[in-house]
Structure 1
């Protein structure tokens, strides 16, 4: 979907919303479906009834087509997806948007906080939308807003891939921490990265080097080490290249290197004894760096480096301070990543700007591999017979370039 060419269609957006509501309610018995959001909107904002040709106003047309379930006696509305509630005209204009009268909180967030503290906002002049949370006082600039259709389609896609599902025991719509689709995306993106590197490797004599792919790591080889289920699935599915470096100073595991790095980890290490995200979902090093982070990084004047050993820093979750690419799970997402540079900097794989279509998160593994492929293909990273030859210090020196953009 090319979001740059989409214009707001009340009919298309309403159809996507109604499909989402059907998914959210298909397992609920005796559920009542209404189509009265437009009159509920006029009850809250009666001044809109004076708008000439109200039926032609895009917002009103959109609201008049939406299906919803009735609010509870206490006024609480039901969920549309695991992340957002159904539209509630009473909360369209909140304190947050009081100074932005053309912004409405169309879908309030469901993240343990108040629904009116964030969610999906709609600009009723441009009809662009964006996810915005209470963590930031300012709305994103106009060029970061997306067609509402794109955001709704992303949620519908999550049903199609199994990311969203109906939990029979809890009788609620939930989010899976990872799916086979997530693994397939990550493996495909990794293979594209490897292929891009291979195409830029020097010839040997008159013949191009004939590359072969090595078998994935064996599950029995990984078994002695505490690794997240997603990381294990990725490492036992992705074919490995016959060269070591897939990013600056970032290598692919061999069985020997795996034992050398993980085998030296103490059984009582913080990484092994504390999980993040869902239960038994540990931070996991999947592509080791060539360096370990020095012990004196706390003296650095760079906050992103000296925080490594602070109580809130990532250092305690590394494997013996080893640099490299880590799976860094959170609740509901087991395929998020964190890159630890040899300097101790841990921000080189954060998004360049916040995620615009959903709750804030770190980049997914597939998104990072796609960005690394672009850095190979545009010549930012150099390649030699050992793979990517750019020095590992590049991640610290060119941190912003290393950050992937939030691409749909």
Structure 2
């Protein structure tokens, strides 16, 4: 076996798959579990029976070991996770990958589109895997693929943290928009960012500069404003630093600043009357910038800036065009973020490349804070007594550095 396949263990991956199936079916006492996937595979691709030492082929070994529920009368398969179906040999090879015969669609997607339009692909030459969506014509480069074991483990972790759960009313497995684990991750990452800034603050040679943390915002002062439930939990739980700037031109809310920004927002603003995810998932400013976005950004030659006020732009979801870090949820995640620079640029905190282990999404709050911490620690951002002293225009000038590399 060459070095590329030595990291793939059919046994470990099958074990993770079977744990996922057990989670997906534990509330269905009459469910039938079987190990027939390898036989179904050979029915679809009988030419593999001619492969010498077929039992030693890693893909076939995996298929022999995994559990599934029986296909429906029309051949359809059940869900394995809220995002993916169980393996279906009928869709292993599709028109989309006919030019890439080594790519197998092992787990078709469950996102309202056809399962064959995307999901988790496995390259049976390297035995690396990646989530690839049908709306992208090209597969990610090989260095962005991951071990299948890593992707399956992340799905199992989602059960552990409560992100995946059984909805008894709808009798299906679903995704929670946010969990206490998500809040704790975000708070821990925010506190690491604060600590990294404090460690780099100047101090008098004869005096050690000490810092203290301010109390979180009182949830009662957040009540008058349309603030997402996740954002309320974060803002009312995270301790604040005793300095204002935690990123270039990005401040921490004080009660006074909160009222100055949110208090003048009109009740029927688009932000307050629309939600991006589920109900009560309004776009929410959690760390305000120093300036508002001017009204002439539609004249910019930078498409990422002049899009601010377009129909598809994010400008209508801001608080009176205020720059800063926003919670911008989707239908599955309440802790996704969008950074609005005062230039009107809204792409500075996007991923540099698509998420490789699940459906496409924006970065989570904890992921942004972790990236910002690295920019403080490696000296990219300057620090003074007021916190990060690098100018706010850094996000517009150095957008490529501001973007986040997906970390497994």
**Alignment TM-score, normalising by the size of structure 2:** 0.98
2:404 — aligned with what? 404
Q: Distance in 2 between matches of 1:136 and 1:330?
A: 19
Contact 2:371 2:404 in 1 (8 A): yes
Q: Distance in 1 between matches of 2:327 and 2:392?
A: 19
Contact 2:212 2:242 in 1 (8 A): yes
1:226 — aligned with what? 226
Task: Give SS of 1:307's match.
Answer: helix
Q: Distance in 1 between matches of 2:203 and 2:121?
A: 53
Contact 2:5 2:125 in 1 (8 A): no
Q: Distance in 1 between matches of 2:198 and 2:122?
A: 45
Q: Distance in 1 between matches of 2:52 and 2:340?
A: 58
Deviation at 1:205, TM superposition (A): 4.1
1:186 — aligned with what? 186
For each residue in 1:328-350, what CA deviation from the matched residue of structure 2 results, as whole angstroms up to 9, or x when unmatched? Answer: 00101000000000000000010
Contact 2:5 2:126 in 1 (8 A): no
Runs of 4+ with deviation above 6 angstroms = none
1:81 — aligned with what? 81
| Correspondence 1:104-253 to 2 at 5 A | 104-253=104-253
Deviation at 1:257, TM superposition (A): 0.3
1:274 — aligned with what? 274
Q: Distance in 1 between matches of 2:33 and 2:220?
A: 51
1:40 — aligned with what? 40
Instruction: Decide which moves more: 238-247 or 4-13.
Output: 4-13
| Correspondence 1:346-361 to 2 at 5 A | 346-361=346-361
Contact 1:246 1:252 in 2 (8 A): yes
For each residue in 1:149-194, what CA deviation from the matched residue of structure 2 results, as whole angstroms up to 9, or x when unmatched? Answer: 0000000000000000000100100000000000000000000000
Contact 1:6 1:147 in 2 (8 A): no
Deviation at 1:246, TM superposition (A): 0.1
1:57 — aligned with what? 57
Deviation at 1:208, TM superposition (A): 2.2
| Correspondence 1:16-27 to 2 at 5 A | 16-27=16-27
Task: Give SS of 2:131's match.
Answer: strand
1:317 — aligned with what? 317
Task: Give SS of 2:308's match.
Answer: coil
Whether 2:263 is the aligned partner of 1:258: answer: no
Whether 2:303 is the aligned partner of 1:303: answer: yes
Q: Distance in 2 between matches of 1:224 and 1:6?
A: 57
Whether 2:350 is the aligned partner of 1:339: answer: no
For each residue in 1:123-144, what CA deviation from the matched residue of structure 2 results, as whole angstroms up to 9, or x when unmatched? Answer: 0000000000011100000000
Q: Distance in 2 between matches of 1:265 and 1:381?
A: 32
Task: Give SS of 1:165's match.
Answer: strand
Q: Distance in 2 between matches of 1:76 and 1:208?
A: 67
Q: Distance in 2 between matches of 1:34 and 1:218?
A: 53
1:71 — aligned with what? 71
Task: Give SS of 1:215's match.
Answer: coil
User: Which runs of no fewer than 5 residues in structure 2 stay unpaired?
Assistant: none
Q: Distance in 1 between matches of 2:157 and 2:207?
A: 44
Q: Distance in 2 between matches of 1:347 and 1:288?
A: 16
Q: Distance in 1 between matches of 2:53 and 2:281?
A: 55
Deviation at 1:204, TM superposition (A): 2.6
Q: Distance in 1 between matches of 2:106 and 2:195?
A: 43
Instruction: Decide which moves more: 342-351 or 42-51.
Output: 42-51
Deviation at 1:5, TM superposition (A): 11
Contact 1:202 1:208 in 2 (8 A): no
Deviation at 1:207, TM superposition (A): 1.6
Q: Distance in 2 between matches of 1:208 and 1:143?
A: 46
Aligned length: 405
